[in-house]
């Protein structure tokens, strides 16, 4: 089988050599060229015919965003993987690139101080993403097509019940839990704004991303959506009509310390499925806290994080929906759940909000008044890193911003695409 051809665009000669060495050690990959800036990269693409381009976000002459726009115009089907530093500026530009159509992203090694560790980090981060993006485009030579043409959809009927046996009767959803990875920022930017401001339950989200990225993503989604979207705050009570995203490098859980009292917990327990945050950790907690009141949504993503959690959601009597292959960047996570016959339905991304809203409002009562929210990144919003007491989390800030306020905003202006792969269990997190 032909090797996957990769073009590297980065203004750092050291980084170009590191990436080339890391990728060349994989027998499935071939580095066909490199470029020190976007202008040269654009000139080399028609000459070298790469399958995937890795694109630094900050370069002279043509930066990452300018190069992305030029390549989308000349080669609209070419997968482009953004390569970013873990800084505020790098994260901001990378998120903008994802919203403008970049296929995925990876972060540069930081603070390793060791060549071998840097190479290993690059192999773990870049190689699986490049292979997944190439597989997606290789299996779809004509662009997005009917799912019947996809091997991963073989035998699965879209938007139809998938249970070989009738499932347990689900309860009225108390929480919507979303798991997403590769392609997630764009998927969430389509899904969350389509949910109404009167959405009657809270939404909790695990998006495989590192620190800084998750906060910026929450800010961006909050501006786009009628629902306020924030990074999760340890110990915070869950309220209807609010959405919370797991902070990068922290697991997110839902706890039920007392009947009718649902709260957030963030912590640095061991990675699961090589990810922190992990979808399995979130879904498992929802199954335990909500029983039949859990509604799990698995969106586009590489790997199978969330599969074990969906088994627990189903065993507790909850419901599971997955995004279809046609609208997924990578049909790994949702595909694994669908193939395990755990999903009630496989739904195109554009129809998911309507399906979710229908399920949570079926038999739902009136929505309670919403308190406001602390501003993202506001130091006054910090709470204790110790485990909160069940009755009241210590030091929680007063709520000031309502979903109604956010619904009137206008836009003013993301396996990592995978989770954090290292770290030791640490204290609970406060945003």
Is 181 a catalytic site residue? yes
Is 305 a catalytic site residue? yes
Is 75 a catalytic site residue? no
Please name which of 29, 260, 27 lies closest in space to residue 126, comparing C-alpha atoms. 29
Instruction: Tell me which of 84, 103, 134, 208 is the catalytic residue.
Output: 208
- d(CA 414, CA 209) in angstroms, rounded, equals 5
142-158 burial: b if 16+ Cβ within 10 Å, else e: eeeeebeebebbeebeb
Q: Are 263 and 254 in contact (CB under 8 A)?
A: yes
How many CB atoms sit inside 10 A of residue 46's CB? Answer: 9
Instruction: Tell me which of 103, 181, 278, 418 is the catalytic residue.
Output: 181
Distant-in-sequence, close-in-space partners of 384: CB < 8 Å, separation ≥ 6: 234, 235, 393, 394, 395, 430
- d(CA 387, CA 329) in angstroms, rounded, equals 37
- d(CA 312, CA 235) in angstroms, rounded, equals 23
Token look-up 């997005």 returns 144
- d(CA 352, CA 194) in angstroms, rounded, equals 9
How many CB atoms sit inside 10 A of residue 14's CB? Answer: 9
Instruction: Tell me which of 219, 305, 324, 428 is the catalytic residue.
Output: 305
- d(CA 53, CA 49) in angstroms, rounded, equals 10
Q: Enumerate the active-site residues.
A: 181, 208, 305
């Amino acid at each position: 089988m032909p090797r996957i051809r990769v073009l590297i665009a980065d203004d750092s000669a050291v980084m170009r050599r590191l990436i080339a060495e890391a990728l060349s050690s994989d027998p499935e990959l071939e580095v066909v060229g490199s470029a020190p800036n976007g202008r040269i990269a654009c000139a080399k693409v028609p000459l070298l015919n790469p399958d995937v381009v890795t694109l630094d976000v900050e370069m002279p002459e043509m930066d990452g965003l300018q190069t992305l726009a030029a390549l989308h115009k000349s080669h609209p089907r070419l997968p482009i993987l953004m390569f970013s530093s873990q800084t505020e500026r790098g994260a901001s530009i990378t998120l903008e690139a994802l919203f403008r159509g970049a296929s995925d992203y990876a972060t540069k090694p930081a603070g390793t101080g060791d060549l071998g560790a840097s190479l290993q980090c690059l192999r773990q981060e870049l190689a699986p993403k490049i292979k997944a993006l190439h597989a997606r485009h290789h299996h779809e030579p004509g662009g997005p097509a009917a799912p019947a043409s996809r091997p991963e959809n073989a035998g699965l009927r879209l938007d139809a019940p998938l249970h070989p046996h009738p499932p347990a009767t689900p309860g009225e959803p108390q929480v919507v839990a979303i798991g997403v990875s590769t392609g997630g920022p764009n998927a969430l930017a389509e899904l969350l704004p389509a949910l109404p401001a009167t959405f009657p339950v809270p939404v909790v989200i695990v998006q495989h991303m590192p620190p800084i990225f998750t906060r910026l993503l929450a800010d961006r989604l909050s501006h786009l959506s009628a629902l306020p979207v924030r990074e999760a705050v340890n110990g915070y009570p869950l309220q209807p009509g609010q959405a919370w995203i797991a902070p990068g490098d922290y697991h997110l859980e839902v706890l039920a310390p007392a009947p009718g009292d649902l709260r957030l917990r963030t912590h640095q327990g061991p990675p699961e499925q090589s990810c922190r945050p992990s979808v399995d950790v979130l879904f498992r907690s929802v199954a335990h806290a909500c029983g039949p009141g859990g509604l799990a949504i698995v969106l586009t993503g590489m790997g199978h994080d969330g599969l074990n959690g969906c088994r627990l959601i189903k065993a507790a009597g909850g419901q599971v929906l997955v995004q279809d292959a046609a609208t997924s960047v990578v049909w790994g996570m949702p595909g694994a759940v669908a193939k395990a016959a755990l999903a009630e339905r496989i739904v195109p991304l554009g129809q998911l909000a309507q399906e979710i809203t229908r399920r949570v409002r079926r038999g739902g009562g009136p929505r309670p008044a919403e308190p406001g929210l602390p501003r993202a990144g506001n130091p006054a919003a910090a709470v204790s890193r110790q485990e909160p007491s069940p009755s009241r989390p210590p030091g929680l800030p007063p709520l000031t911003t309502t979903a109604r306020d956010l619904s009137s905003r206008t836009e003013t202006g993301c396996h990592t695409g995978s989770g954090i792969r290292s770290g030791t269990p640490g204290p609970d997190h406060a945003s």
